[in-house]
Amino acid sequence: MHEFPTENFDLLTRHQTAENAHDLDATLTTLAEDCVFHDLASGRRWDGHAGATEYYQTWWAAFDHQVASERLHFASPHIVIAETRWVGRHVGKYWGIAPTGRAIDVPVVIFVTFRDGLMAEERFSWDRASLLAQLDCSPGFWGQR
């Protein structure tokens, strides 16, 4: 594994703390203005702070989740690959699905790219069928979106 700068680790810690507190302002301070989010499971992309705001508000309104760190697989001065989990409860509407109150525990692999002391890009890889099963949705649901 390459040497991982302490400042990037500190930035990730601040980001996760803010994200878990659902503190949008603090979360955005960890992201580059032109940040890009790629949600590989949904095929969606969000650009800049406006996109990040939409992304976080969507998840935070639907789930009272926390990001639980699991393992760091690779770290270099410019990229991190980490395994995490989204753990929480379905408390609001998500992709047209009314709140179920059901618990979720979704394994996620996240690729984070750093630039100029901020997080510039995040790629989230997770299994949407697993989330839908946890919400007790039919297997064909995503094909209807």
- Tell me whether residue 141 is in a domain: no
Q: Which residue has the tokens 């949600």?
A: 39
- Tell me whether residue 12 is in a domain: yes
For residues 68 and 108, the answer to whether their CB atoms sit within 8 Å is no
Q: Measure the CA–CA gap between 127 and 133, rounded to whole angstroms.
A: 10
pLDDT tens per residue across span 87-129: 999 999 988 899 999 999 999 999 999 999 999 999 999 999 9
CATH code of the domain in which 58 resides? 3.10.450.50
- Tell me whether residue 121 is in a domain: yes
pLDDT at 145 over 70: no
The pair of three-digit structure tokens given for residue 145, joined into one six-digit string = 């979106």
Q: Measure the CA–CA gap between 142 and 69, rounded to whole angstroms.
A: 27
Going across the sheet that includes 66-75, the strands are 44-47, 31-39, 118-126, 103-115, 79-89, 66-75
- What single letter denotes the amino acid at residue 52? A
Q: Measure the CA–CA gap between 65 and 11, rounded to whole angstroms.
A: 20
The predicted model gives 66-91 an average pLDDT of 87
Q: Measure the CA–CA gap between 77 and 128, rounded to whole angstroms.
A: 31
Confidence (pLDDT) at 60: 95
Its domain, for residue 89, covers 6-136
Q: Measure the CA–CA gap between 62 and 108, rounded to whole angstroms.
A: 17
- Tell me whether residue 145 is in a domain: no
- Tell me whether residue 16 is in a domain: yes
* β-strand partners of 71: 83
- Tell me whether residue 31 is in a domain: yes
> Count of domains in the chain?
1
pLDDT at 22 over 80: yes
71: confidence class by pLDDT, cuts 50, 70, 90: confident
- Tell me whether residue 144 is in a domain: no
Confidence (pLDDT) at 81: 93
